[in-house]
Each structure stands twice: as C-alpha cells, then as structure tokens.
C-alpha cells in the first residue's frame, strides 16, 4: 500500500486528512507543487530587485508599521524579527494531534504557490511532520484575524532553531533537534516570515479535528439514544417516516431512519406500552440530533473551503504579475462556524443528560438509580450529577467568541474574529459531549438488564455484548469513575 501523500493542488477532503493521519502517511511535495513554489519565489525576488516600490510585509513593517520602509539589506532580519517578536503565546500547550494538523495545513497552503516561500522552508516543515517533531505551541495569543500570528510563530520558530519541540516524548530546545538531524536553521528570505505567520491554520486544525470527532459523536449519539429508548420502554411512533416527511430537514430524516434501523427486531420496542407519550429527550431525538447534524454539515463546508485556500498576505500572482495585499487571513468565516459547532455538539450532550436523568428516576419499572436495594446502594445517582456538571460547563463555553472584537496594532487591525478562542472552547465541548454520551451508555446498558429476558434489537444486543466485555453489570456500589473512563474508551475504539 502506498504510504506517501503527495501535497498538490488537488482538493483536500476530511476523509483524506483522516486517512493521512490514521495511516501515518508520510508527506511529499508533488512535482506540480514544487514548481509552483519555486516559480512564485523567483518571481517575488525578481520583483524586489527590479523595483523600489513599497510592498506590504516584504519591504515594509507590519500592522500599523506598514508605512515604514525597510532597506534591502535588512529584509532577511525583518522576517527573523517578525518570527521572534510574534511568539507571544501563553496558556496550555496545544495538543500534539492539533499541532500535527497545523503542520499539514500550513504545508498545504504554502504549496499552492502564492506565498513566496523558499522550497527548502516547505520541505523542512514536511521533515517535522514526517519525523513527528511537534513544535511547542500555546493555546492563547491569537485574535483570529491577522492570521493566527502567535500560534503560527511558535509553530515555525524551530525552523530557525528557536523555540521548543516535543520529540519522542521529550520537550527539547529546537536547536538540539536540528543538530540531531544535521539540519541547518532556515535563513528566512523576504516575505517568508509573514507567509508562515499569516494564515488560519490554528483555527483550521482545531476545526478539522473537532469536525472529525463530531462526526463520530453524531453517529454514536443515535446509537446510544436508541439503546436508552429501548431501556426506558419508549415508543417508536415518533420515528415513523410519515411525520418526518412533513418536516423534511435532512438531519431529522436521517436520524429518524437511523433509530428505526437500530431498533429493528427489538422485542422491547414491539411490546405493548402502558404510556401514551415519552418525554421530549426521547420523542424528539430526530429533531434535536438532526439539527446538530445539519449545523455540522454547514461547518464542514466552511472548513473544506478554508483548508483548500491560501490565507496569508499579501498574495503573489506570478502569472498575472500582481502582488496584492488583502485580508484572506481574517478568521470570521471560521469563528462563526466554530461557535455554531460548539452549540450543535453541546446540544447532543444536553439531551443525552436528560435521557440519563429519566433512566435513573425509578420510572416504568426500573429501580431507583438503576441498582438493587436502593438506599443501601446509591447506584448510578451521581453519574447524572457528573453529566449535569459537564453539560453546564459546555453551556458556559458556548457563549459565542465571534461576537467579540478588540482592536489591535494601533487600530489598524480594528476588527478581529476571536476565532482562536472559539476553536479552543469547541475542543473542550466535543470532549465534554463524549463524556456525557459515555455516561448515558453506562446507564442505558445497566437499565437494559432490568428488562430481561426481553431483548433489544440484534445489532444493539451485539453492542451490549461487546460493552460487557469491558464493563460489567453493577450489582452493588463500586467506584464508578473507572466504569465511566472505560465507557469513554469504548466509544473511542468500538465501531458502533
């Protein structure tokens, strides 16, 4: 099997990124990409040598210093100074799986040949990716407007032998890693520092990671909710295709069909019910899960456009003989999508916690808190507390970051997206929702045992059999933290 992914102008999909990362493909530049990079670099330097025209970020200062002309002999120092001065990140370190995506997306953007970088600069970034050398990047510092300046400065400092990297489980000064591989530090040429720091790869990497994770959570939310529905002795009428055809939102139709298929052949679903209706957290699964699916589809289109774009500034067009300064680094499209994603994923957790609450409430023949001898045993009482706490935190994290803006650079950059903050909040929300779904699965599996000898559907019985290999039935009180952690691990590894 081919284990090399060639960076080119071919459309990059989420599926491709997932395959590249999951299968540990190495990266290489296609011949076309190399030619684009070289042609753009040569055009830029021919332009600089043949004209004394001020070109933003190439022979001028940055931000509000854009009117300061830089002498030709100082152009390389200008780019090095830019890299060092912008490395102002703070807070927690960006997870290495996100840093890996940042490297991939920065390489992809530079390979389109509109950024003016040296070929060896891009190849060194590829070396970092292929050898699992992850620059230490910090979560705080980007306004999400002039590109993700501070995070991308930290991402690219090691090119110069500055900053730190994580390598093989150790945090090392980047100069030592360069020495280890006999690599010379990259001497940045005109425009290169700006090309590396301008861009939306911090926001985009978080967006790609959370989209891939959210896709999984959407599928798992349907499966877990179907199991809860049967364990709660719920009715199937709310999933009848006829009613959803009257309100044909795509996600709603898809979810109703998924629940019908998941519960096909269930003895519990087919038995006569004593109640006329179920609570909304069961009855409205198609409407709620479906709305989140539709929101994620919108966000996916935003990020697919972004990761197949050039987002530094200025942009260089060798064929058109143009160097144009604009604002493709502004993260507003991403900020709005990231905020929307957080709300959509948080709602999966919100309705999940409500189903857990119903399951432990001693209703419909289930024991209080899903344990024999309630009173002596508290059973699953506090699992719902934990879910409620997590859901509350997610709600707080869903306050939109994109509605805020604080001017910077002497008011030259007077509107910013705050998309980087939206990104890091979303990362927390998706992991929160995963935990809440794992808690619901723990409760639903427990509740189902009180319905025996009746069985749920064959596909869900198979799921429960796999689950019970990891997490046993709770007959008397035990430390449930370990069960919750095993339930989270099950969601991450089991193909539901």
Q: Which residue has the tokens 């999951």?
A: 22
Tokens of 309: 């774009």
Instruction: Provide the 3-class DSSP secondary structure of residue 374.
Output: strand
Catalytic residue among 25, 43, 56, 206: 56
Name, in order, each residue with C-beta under 8 angstroms of 299's C-beta and a sequence gap of 6 or more.
207, 211, 337, 338, 340, 341, 344
Nearest to 255 by CA among 212, 229, 232, 287: 287
What whole-number distance in Å separates Cα of residue 268 and Cα of residue 396?
38
Helix (H, G, I), strand (E, B) or coil at 66: coil
151: its two tokens: 């995070």
Find out whether 25 and 4 touch, Cβ atoms under 8 Å: yes
R_g (Cα) of the chain, nearest Å: 26
Cα–Cα dist 400/237, whole Å:
36
Give the integer Cα–Cα distance in Å for 27 and 231.
48
Per-residue DSSP letters for 380-411?
A: THHHHHHHHHHHHHHHHHTS-STT----BTTT
Q: Which two tokens stand for residue 112?
A: 């389109």
Distance from the first to the final alpha carbon of the chain:
27
Pairwise CA distance, residues 440 & 357, whole Å? 9
DSSP label at 173? E
Q: Which residue has the tokens 């912008």?
A: 86
Is 427 a residue of the active site?
no
Phi, psi angles (nearest 5°) of residue 89: -70, 155
Return the sign of the alpha-carbon dihedral for residues 221, 227, 228, 234: positive
Catalytic residues: 56
């Amino acid at each position: 099997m081919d284990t090399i992914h060639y960076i080119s102008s071919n459309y990059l999909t989420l599926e491709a990124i997932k395959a590249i990362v999951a299968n540990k493909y190495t990266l290489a530049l296609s011949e076309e990409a190399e030619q684009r990079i070289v042609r753009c670099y040569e055009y830029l330097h021919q332009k600089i040598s043949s004209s004394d025209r001020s070109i933003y970020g190439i022979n001028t200062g940055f931000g509000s210093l854009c009117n300061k002309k830089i002498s030709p002999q100082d152009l390389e120092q200008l780019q090095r100074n830019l890299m060092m001065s912008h490395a102002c990140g703070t807070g927690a370190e960006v997870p290495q799986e996100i840093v890996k995506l940042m490297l991939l997306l920065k390489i992809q953007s530079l390979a389109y040949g509109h950024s003016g970088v040296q070929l060896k600069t891009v190849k060194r970034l590829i070396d970092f990716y292929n050898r699992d050398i992850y620059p230490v990047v910090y979560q705080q510092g980007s306004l999400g407007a002039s590109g993700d300046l501070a995070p991308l400065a930290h991402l690219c400092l090691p090119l110069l032998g500055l900053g730190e990297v994580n390598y093989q489980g150790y945090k090392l000064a980047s100069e030592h890693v360069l020495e280890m591989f006999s690599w010379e530090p990259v001497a940045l040429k005109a425009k290169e520092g700006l090309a590396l720091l301008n861009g939306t790869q911090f926001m985009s990497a978080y967006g790609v990671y959370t989209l891939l994770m959210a896709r999984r959570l959407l599928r798992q939310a349907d499966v877990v909710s179907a199991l809860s529905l049967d364990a709660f002795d719920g009715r199937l009428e709310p999933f009848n295709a006829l009613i959803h055809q009257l309100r044909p939102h795509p996600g709603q139709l898809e979810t109703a069909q998924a629940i019908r298929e998941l519960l096909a052949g269930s003895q519990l679903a087919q038995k006569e019910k004593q109640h006329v209706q179920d609570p909304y957290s069961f009855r409205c699964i198609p409407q709620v899960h479906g709305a989140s699916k539709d929101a994620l589809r919108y966000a996916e289109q935003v990020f697919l456009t972004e990761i197949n774009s050039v987002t530094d500034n200025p942009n260089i067009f060798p064929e058109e003989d143009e160097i144009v300064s604009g604002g493709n680094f502004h993260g507003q499209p991403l900020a709005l999508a990231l905020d929307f994603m957080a709300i959509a994923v948080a709602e999966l957790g919100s309705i999940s916690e409500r189903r857990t609450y119903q399951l432990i409430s001693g209703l419909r023949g289930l024991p209080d808190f899903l344990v024999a001898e309630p009173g002596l045993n508290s059973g699953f009482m506090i699992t719902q507390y934990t879910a409620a706490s997590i859901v509350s935190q997610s709600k707080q994290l869903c306050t939109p970051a994109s509605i805020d803006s604080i001017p910077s650079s002497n008011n030259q950059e007077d509107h910013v997206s705050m998309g980087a903050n939206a990104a890091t909040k979303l990362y927390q929300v998706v992991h929160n929702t995963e935990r809440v779904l794992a808690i619901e699965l723990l409760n639903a599996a427990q509740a189902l045992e009180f319905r025996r000898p009746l069985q749920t559907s064959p596909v869900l019985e198979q799921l429960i059999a796999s689950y019970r290999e990891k997490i046993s039935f709770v007959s008397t009180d035990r430390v449930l933290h370990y069960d919750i952690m095993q339930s989270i691990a099950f969601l991450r590894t089991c193909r539901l």
